[in-house]
Structure formats: structure tokens, C-alpha cells
Amino acid sequence: MTQARLAAIGELVRRTYEDPRVVARYVEVGLWPAEELLVLEHVGDADRILDLGCGAGRTSVALAELGLEVVGVDLSEAMVEAARDQASLAGVEIEFCVMDAAALTFADASFDAVLFSYNGLELVPGLAGKERVLREVWRVLRPGGVFLFTTHSIFALNVHAPYRLVGFLRYACGRLFGWPVREQELGERFIDDDDEEVRYLQVLPPSRYLRLLRQCGFQVLTFNTRDRLEAGRRWSWRGIFEDGERIYAARRT
């Protein structure tokens, strides 16, 4: 992916989450049960945690209410302002700032844990952009620190499967026949429907993330679907096609 294309998609994503109608959809607070399970398992009571793609503060405020020292960052200034309002309403102190997850300005080894929730990593343009994020996360984590994040799966059999299939066919035609399509990488999808909040998303096979984590110097601790984690069920091959988010925990080695 060229720098120009990366920048253009990044700006598309940023503008999307500056829209007040989109911001209004994110003004809720609370960890998912699966997120809380992993936080309680892998994050210490006095740890300093970086909440990437904090949005309007759903996870940042909940983490602060657990007594953690939280720093929240987001590409969208409107989201950061909404997150500050949510923190104020909850009576918790959180440092928020506008920042690109692929170009963090924090010093090396600044955090005990990093969280990138929901579809945040999938909004980062291209596989190369996602690798930059993982390498930045590795850099700002202290040795032994844990990275928790969530994605979806290109193989999930759900209502979005037909749209992913269309995106794959467009990508394949572009590669095979040189057609001028927007989908230039596997899993990319551009959405033009005004009723949809997401304008760009890249949903990859989870195996890509597991491989990328190891390449970037992480040890994978947990990989499972959200539903399986919350039900106390272990991963199995059936999970490949199940609906719902995939959740990862990885340690900086």
C-alpha cells in the first residue's frame, strides 16, 4: 500500500468518526464480559494501560473505574472530546489525547498493558498499517506487558458474509484482470451506504494476526471467540465459522 493510499484511507476513517451522528452511537460505558475476564486475568491492579481507539470512552472509563491508570487515544478529536465528557460524568481521571495508533508519541516501555477494542485495528489501513500498530504497541509496552485486542473473521458465517464475499470478488478481479477497484488488499471493504457508520474496514483471517503477533515479538496467550470466552468454552475448529468477535491476548517477550 502506497503512502498516499494509506493517508487517504486514514483520512476517510478519521472523518467518519468526526461525524456527530457516529459519535452519538458510542456514548456508552462498560467492558464486555470477555474484555473484563482478560483484563482481570492479565492486568495488575496498579498497572498503567493504554486504550487505543478509545472512541467516546466506553472502555477507558470502565478501566479507570477498576482503579487502573488509563491513557486513552483516538484519531478523532470529536471522539476524544466525548470521552472526556464521559470521564467527567463518571468522576474518573483519564488522560486523553488525539493520536494515530500507528505513530504513537509515548516513550518506549511506557505501559503495562495496551487495549485496542472492537473493530479498531480493522479500521487501520492495510496490512502494513496494522503491522506498524503492532510494532508501536510492542515498543510502548514494558517487557512482559500484555496487548489485548479484538477483530472479526473473514470466515464468519453471519449477515455480513455476502458483503465480504463481494469485496473478495472485487479484490480478486482487480488482482487477476487489473480492474480499477478500490479493494486492493484481501479483506478490504468500502461502504458507501449513508446508514452505515463504517466507510472502510479490513477483515482478515485471524491466522494473519496470530502470525503477525509472533513476527512482531509477541507470545500469544489467548485466542478465542467472544462468545466462547464468555461461556467458558475453549477454542475449537468450529469457532472458525462462528459469528462474533475474535479476542486476542499477547505478551511482549
Q: Over the stretch 211-249, which tens digit does the pLDDT of each residue have?
A: 999 999 999 999 999 999 999 999 999 999 999 999 999
Whether 1 shows a pLDDT value over 80: the answer reads: no
What is the pLDDT at residue 74? 97
Query: What does the alpha-carbon distance between residue 219 and residue 112 come to, in Å, rounded to a whole number?
Result: 15
Rounded to whole angstroms, the Cα distance separating 178 from 233 reads 44
pLDDT at 2: 86
Per-residue pLDDT, averaged over 191-207, amounts to 89
CB-based burial, 166-175: b 16+ in 10 Å, e otherwise: ebbebbeebe
pLDDT at 85: 96
Mean pLDDT (the chain) is: 95
Strand, coil or helix: 155: coil
Digit-coded pLDDT (tens) for 146-193 = 999 999 999 999 999 999 999 999 999 999 999 999 999 999 999 888
Nearest 10 degrees: Cα torsion 56, 59, 61, 64:
-150
Domain ranges within the chain, ordered by starting residue = 3-152+212-252
173 close to 212: Cβ distance less than 8 angstroms: no
Q: Model confidence at 40, in pLDDT bands (50, 70, 90)?
A: very high
Q: How far apart are CA 10 and CA 95, in angstroms?
A: 23
Residue % of the chain over a pLDDT of 70: 100
Options 3.40.50.2000, 3.40.640.10, 3.30.450.20, 3.40.50.150; CATH of 3-152+212-252: 3.40.50.150
- pTM metric for this prediction: 0.95
Q: Please compute the mean of the pLDDT values over residues 95-107 and round it to a whole number.
A: 97
Least confident segment among 36-40, 191-195, 205-209 = 191-195
d(CA 66, CA 31): 11
Are 97 and 64 in contact by the 8 Å Cβ rule? The answer is no
Positive or negative: CA dihedral 77, 13, 90, 62: negative
